[in-house]
A and B are shown apart, each in its own frame.
Chain A
Amino acid sequence: MTMGADIWVYIEHAQAAPKKVSLELLSCARSLSTALGGNVVAFVPGSKIDRVIAAVGPRGADIIYTAEHPLLDTYTTDGHAAVLADAVRAESPAIVLVGSTAQGRDLAPRVAARLGAGIVTDCTTLGWRDGKLLATRPMYTRKAIGTVRVTGGGPCIAVVLPAMYPLPDADSPRQPEVRRRPVQLDGKAIRTSVREVKSVHRETIPLIEANVIVSGGRGMKAPENFAILDDLARALGAAVGSSRPPVDSGWVPHDYEIGQTGKTVSPQVYLACGISGAPQHLAGMSGSKYIVAINKDPNAPMFQVADLGVVGDLFEIIPKLTEAVKKVKSGIGD
């Protein structure tokens, strides 16, 4: 397969709107296209996708390929892998960018295997060097960064983490050409079926989506003390998490756990309260943009990674902080 120079972005969408990460990848594709000289192509599979196309249009793609078929209404591996693989075979893009979502991670390796494409996942940055795609990605539970080169002839697939590239403004002067690709899909070839998609309405924001996380460790001393973190989180519009010891001691449920044996989060702000900062915990939150640590132990390792470290009694500080935040949010005071 001779390779073109186009960069494709797989547009994942739900409820007639493209996923944020897919739009972010249009920026990534744009910066790669200056090196490769090809087009930025948005690939939109699905059924009744006109509103998605309209939303993608102003975000900077040169071409929009669609693959429309009623069987693509809900995501299935068989259906979506078939149309993506066929399209890539037919058009030979150089690179296909896929957002690292549950769908993207399900789809991309299957398509790579079908095409014999080079595939690199969890990418944090992408670049084009000496005619090859170079990607950086976290490895060894975030204890190292790997730089990976995709080699050989044929397309590369890069699965890229969210929030690595900026969301392009919806004001691109480019008017993308929409090319509707014919799709042949046999229902019998789609072996799995989605029974339902349950939206989980949670009272609190899920940790992996939260912009601000308030997190408690062993220093919280007792399960009932997490209530002061709940209060602060409510005031801040934040999610509440924990390190491992409160989970092991049964103070909070397992889905609170952030760290190697729990979730990996990368919020804008991570407020670590009474958390010493063991490596296993840092592995789960060191990707946070800003880290604030409150601990009465000045030797706590968390202070070495915190942007702002406060040595003090969290039982005094947190409730007063909550009051101060409430005042700010309601417009009273400074």
Chain B
Amino acid sequence: MNIVVCVKQVPDTEAPIRITPDGSGIDETGLTLVMNYYDEHATEAGLRLREQFGGTVTLVSVGPERAREALRTGLAMGADDAVLVSDPALNGADHLGIARVLAAVIKTLPHDAVICGKLSTDDNAATIGAALAEYLGLPQATAVAHLEVDAAGTGAVVHREVEGGVEVVAVPFPALLTVERSLNEPRYPSLPGIMKAKRKEIKILTLENLGLTAAEVGVAAARTALVRLSPPPARKAGRIVEGDTEQAVAAILAFLKDEAKVL
């Protein structure tokens, strides 16, 4: 089975972020950059499919040159090779533009399953997966929490978490899936895996290699633009109660009744 996994490099969510003084974005100095953790789950899903059916797992990413590091993580987990589209003309591209670039790459690769993380933790947009499925003309299943591919590899039954329950959906392959974190436990890159990743290929492409122009997918084509990034509104300082248990209980009770109005 030929599996393609889309990967994005994002700031480590464990670390605080600093917004630039002009609010145009985040300050990247000293930032630890990692593979978006949803994409770790996507990569793990791809590796398990390869274990089940044989074949290859190819990682694809769009980003600056440093995104190679995130691809190396996936290669160290066990993916076979990787493609990075890196082109300054993509600065300011919107999600549809990026999805079109990914589609252009993936169309050149044999693909039975295209797997994406449900969202990336920098913009939390959850947009590229379904848009990519549209550009590739593939059936889709988003927010997959459970995946069972039939023995012949012709399709899958997935569970999607929906409000109040679980939707069980049959999807024929080739298909695009976006995955939830509850789908699997991603493997750590093993040390031998990290050493082997050194010898695996990361192909770097530009828009020109894909026959795309900046006008088609770059900032000129973008339909959304970030106007400003601001810190979240500070919560107003509350009050602290110190005292004996009776006083504490009374204060909480009064708060729940009179202020929060849940009693």
Contact = CB atoms under 8 A, between A and B. Distances in A.
In the complex they form, whether A and B have CB atoms below 8 Å apart is answered with yes
B19 interface: yes
Given A109-B130, A139-B123, A141-B13, A146 B139 contact: no
A252 B223 CA distance: 44
A113 B235 contact: no
Interface stretch (A23-31, A61-69, A117-125, A178-186): A117-125
Given A118-B94, A192-B171, A139 B124 contact: yes
B237 A304 contact: yes
A43 interface: no
Nearest to B171: A192
Interface stretch (B64-72, B154-162, B196-204): B154-162
Contacts of A103: 162
Contacts of B160: 102, 106
B126 A138 contact: no
A144 B19 contact: yes
B243 to A, nearest CB: 8
Nearest to B37: A261
B109 interface: no
B117 interface: no
Interface in A162-215: 191-200, 206, 209, 211-212
B245 A148 contact: no
Interface stretch (B44-52, B78-86, B140-148, B186-194): B140-148
A148 B227 contact: yes
B253 A325 contact: yes
Interface in A246-270: 260-261, 268-269
A149 B235 contact: no
Contacts of A5: none
Interface in A93-112: 101-103, 105-110, 112
A70 interface: no
A113 B226 contact: no
Contact of B128 (A109, A147, A156, A260): A109
Contact of A279 (B16, B26, B237, B259): B16
Given A119-B223, A140-B17, A289-B260, A195 B170 contact: yes
Given A106-B143, A292-B255, A320-B249, A151 B225 contact: yes
B161 A320 contact: no
B7 interface: no
A322 B252 CA distance: 11
Interface string A291-331: 11010001000011111111111001100110011001100
Given A102-B162, A310-B251, A324-B249, A148 B224 contact: yes
B125 A121 contact: yes
A12 to B, nearest CB: 10
Contacts, number: 265
- Contact-size category for B: 35 or more
B262 A211 contact: yes
B131 A144 contact: no
A316 B245 contact: yes
B163 A269 contact: no
B126 A121 contact: yes
Contacts of A144: 17, 19, 26, 229-232
B242 interface: yes
Contact of B168 (A117, A197, A310, A320): A197
Given A269-B262, A321-B249, A324-B249, A105 B126 contact: yes
B11 A140 contact: yes
Q: Which of A150, A151, A310 has the most CB of B within 10 A?
A: A310
A148 to B, nearest CB: 5
A197 B243 CA distance: 51
A309 B238 contact: yes
Contact of B229 (A113, A145, A149, A280): A145
A308 B227 contact: no
B223 A310 contact: no
B227 A195 contact: no
A140 B134 CA distance: 26
Contacts of A194: 167-169
23 contacts: A77-B133, A77-B140, A81-B134, A106-B142, A106-B160, A110-B140, A113-B134, A114-B134, A121-B125, A122-B124, A122-B125, A141-B124, A144-B229, A145-B232, A146-B228, A149-B224, A151-B224, A152-B223, A194-B168, A197-B166, A198-B168, A206-B164, A209-B163
Interface of B: 11, 13-14, 16-17, 19, 26, 37, 94-96, 99, 121-135, 139-143, 157, 160-172, 181, 222-233, 235-246, 248-253, 255-257, 259-260, 262-263
- Lowest 10 CB-CB distances: which A-B pairs, in order? A118-B223, A113-B134, A113-B131, A109-B130, A191-B139, A307-B238, A102-B162, A309-B240, A195-B168, A290-B260
Given A119-B223, A149-B224, 11 more contacts: A106-B140, A112-B96, A119-B224, A192-B140, A197-B166, A200-B165, A200-B166, A209-B163, A261-B37, A280-B13, A310-B241
